[in-house]
Amino acid sequence: MARKGTASGAEGDTPSATPPPERSFEEALAELETRVARLERGDLQLEEALQLYEQGVALIRECQSRLDAADARIVALTAAGAEIALAGSPDDES
């Protein structure tokens, strides 16, 4: 019976059971910078270096995705601002 409790407890502790917590762009960038610094030191074993590199690529994609979303928001806000300016321009042209 002790094994059943241990097995079910272990299932809930698996990393894939819960998604990673949401992190900010700045947090992801800081994590990327940490991994790059470790890689640049050049004192890692091959497998550890490859693992850090893979994590770095994932962080780059995450950061780029956040930048793309921010850019889309800026474009939408700029377009909305232009529409507001254009809506007021016929009075100015008279």
Question: Is the pLDDT score of 45 beyond 80?
Answer: yes
Is the pTM above the cut of 0.75? no
Q: Which fold has domain 23-86?
A: Helix Hairpins (1.10.287)
Q: What percent of the chain has pLDDT over 90?
A: 56
Tell me the two tokens of residue 81.
Answer: 């601002």
Of 37, 60, 61, the closest CA to residue 49 belongs to 37
Q: What are the φ and ψ backbone dihedral angles of 20, each rounded to 5 degrees?
A: -65, 150
- Residue given tokens 């990673």 in the structure block: 20
Q: Domain ranges in the chain?
A: 23-86
- Residue given tokens 């002790």 in the structure block: 2
For 63-94, the pLDDT digits (tens) are: 999 999 999 999 998 888 777 777 776 555 54
Q: How far apart, in whole angstroms, are the C-alpha atoms of residue 70 and residue 94?
A: 38
Residues 59 and 28: beta-carbon distance below 8 Å: yes
